[in-house]
């Protein structure tokens, strides 16, 4: 297995981001990211202008973010623009599916901040929709903005944006995702920076909100592939999108501890299976988890806490079917820092 790290939600000068794609790619390179997916609002201009490709060691792929005021939807691996449809987001989902793309419901829950357009939020409210591939459980910028609850706190968050990472994703979003996974639906967890790098000029200085550098060090996607990247756009694009579509991946906050090296798999005398797999129940299945640093590993079964373990190697013998996923946390001061959110393994009847 090969592991690659990337960030899959950000904006460039083709929409409301501050930097061009080559400038963004240079920052991705600096952070050691293997891939970036640029998701400008309502446009695939980067794709049309031939900007997909390797920039030094980082592969830049181009997707888009559909809809403006609500029902934001990330459309990855699409070749033509998916039109907005805020009142009927099912049409947007269908539009991505027609292109065999990967569609992700972006930041479905947000609280907003009275310091940002009087509490403006970009929510997903139509839950009658079907056929989407994922939910963005952790969005750095959205979570950062929601933490702006006061002037003093705002100043702290500008000086130290990582404060917004401490509480992890919203439980509401995770519960929602669990609901789909318990029904056996192949809906996966995704996360990203949503970096815009917007600078506000002040009389003596300027401040940057949602910087790319901070974003690329924070909420990333890690994927596992059975072949290595080959420094070839066509081949590597397919490999990355395939891993993202199959859910052999996890979302992590890499800011304090890089999650590189995390593993979650099922093993029995009959074989080994990775995240995103469905296996039929039989005796002798163990769920194996490895964390690159000592961690508290929570094993969830059907969305409920099922077992806990501490250390770096964790083994959970399975005694019944269910959908299993991992949350890992490490000790930071007096609390446990939310860190890794794996995609699940289904063990069916």
The contact set with Zn ion (CB under 5 A) reads 65, 72, 106, 194
Minimum separation from the CB atom of position 2 to Zn ion (A): 28
Nearer to Zn ion, 18 or 229 (CB): 18
CB of 147 or CB of 194, closer to Zn ion? 194
Q: Residue with the closest Cβ to Zn ion?
A: 72
* Alpha-helical runs (H) found in the chain: 21-30, 45-48, 89-98, 140-146, 151-159, 171-182, 212-216, 233-246
CB of 17 to Zn ion, least distance (A): 9
Q: What is the CA radius of gyration of the chain?
A: 19
Please say which residue, 194 or 236, places its beta carbon nearer to Zn ion: 194
Q: Which is nearer to Zn ion, 70 or 186 (CB)?
A: 70
Spell 293-313 as b/e; 16+ CB within 10 A means b: eebbbbbbbbbeebeebeeee
In terms of CB distance, is 82 or 289 closer to Zn ion? Answer: 82
Distance, CA of 52 to CA of 64 (rounded, Å) = 13
Residue 281 CA to residue 287 CA, distance in Å, equals 13
Least distance between Zn ion and beta carbon 252 (Å): 19
Q: How far is the CB of 39 from Zn ion (least distance, A)?
A: 6
Using an 8 Å Cβ cutoff, are 106 and 63 in contact? no
Return the half-sphere exposure (C-beta side, CA atoms, 13 A cut-off) of residue 345: 24
In sign, the C-alpha dihedral spanning 214, 152, 120, 338 is positive
86, burial (CB in 10 Å: exposed 0-12, middle 13-18, buried 19+): middle
Min dist. Cβ of residue 249 to Zn ion (A): 19
312 vs 259: CA distance, rounded Å: 12
For tokens 């590189």, what's the residue? 260
From CA 263, how far away is CA 326, in angstroms rounded? 10
CB of 138 to Zn ion, least distance (A): 13
Q: Which of 122, 21, 115, 28 is nearest to 74 (CA)?
A: 122
Q: CB nearer to Zn ion: give 125 or 205.
A: 125
Residue nearer to Zn ion on the CB measure, 104 or 295: 104
Nearer to Zn ion, 65 or 147 (CB): 65
Task: Give 124's DSSP letter.
Answer: -
Question: Hey, which residues does 264 pair with through a beta bridge?
Answer: 289
Give least dist CB 45 to Zn ion, A.
15
Kindly give the residue spans of alpha helices, DSSP state H, lying in 31-88: 45-48
Minimum distance between the CB of residue 260 and Zn ion, rounded to whole angstroms?
25
Nearest in space to 178 (alpha carbons), one of 170, 167, 189: 189
Q: CB-based contacts of 18: which residues, under 8 Å, 6+ apart?
A: 196, 197, 198, 199
* For Zn ion, the closer CB: 8 or 33: 8
Please state the closest distance from residue 74 (CB atom) to Zn ion, in A: 8
């Amino acid at each position: 297995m090969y592991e690659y790290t990337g960030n899959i939600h950000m904006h460039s000068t083709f929409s409301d981001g501050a930097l061009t794609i080559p400038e963004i790619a240079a920052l991705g390179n600096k952070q050691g990211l293997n891939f970036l997916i640029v998701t400008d609002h309502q446009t695939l201009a980067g794709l049309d202008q031939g900007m997909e490709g390797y920039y030094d060691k980082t592969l830049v792929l181009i997707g888009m973010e559909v809809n403006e005021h609500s029902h934001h939807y990330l459309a990855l691996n699409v070749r033509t623009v998916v039109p907005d449809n805020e009142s009927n987001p099912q049409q947007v989902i269908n539009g991505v599916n027609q292109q065999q793309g990967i569609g992700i419901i972006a930041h479905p829950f947000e609280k907003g901040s009275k310091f940002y357009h009087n509490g403006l939020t970009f929510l997903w409210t139509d839950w009658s929709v079907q056929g989407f591939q994922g939910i963005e459980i952790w969005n750095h910028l959205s979570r950062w903005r929601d933490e702006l609850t006061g002037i003093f706190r705002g100043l702290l968050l500008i000086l130290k944006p990582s404060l917004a990472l401490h509480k992890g994703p919203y439980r509401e979003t995770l519960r929602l995702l669990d609901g789909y996974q318990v029904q056996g639906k192949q809906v996966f967890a995704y996360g990203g920076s949503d970096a815009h790098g917007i600078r506000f000029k002040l009389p003596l200085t300027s401040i940057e909100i949602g910087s790319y550098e901070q974003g690329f060090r924070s909420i990333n996607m890690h994927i596992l592939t059975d072949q290595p990247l080959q420094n070839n756009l066509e081949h590597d694009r397919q490999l990355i999108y395939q891993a993202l579509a199959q859910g052999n991946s996890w979302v992590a906050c890499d800011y304090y501890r890089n999650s590189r090296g995390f593993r979650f798999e099922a093993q029995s005398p009959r074989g080994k299976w990775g995240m995103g797999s469905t296996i039929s129940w039989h005796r002798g299945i163990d769920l194996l988890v490895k964390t690159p640093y000592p961690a508290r590993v929570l094993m969830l079964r059907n969305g409920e806490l099922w077992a806990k373990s501490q250390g770096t190697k964790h083994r959970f013998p399975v005694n019944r079917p269910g959908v299993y996923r991992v949350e890992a946390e490490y000790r930071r001061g007096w609390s446990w820092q939310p860190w890794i959110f794996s995609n699940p393994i289904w063990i069916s009847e």
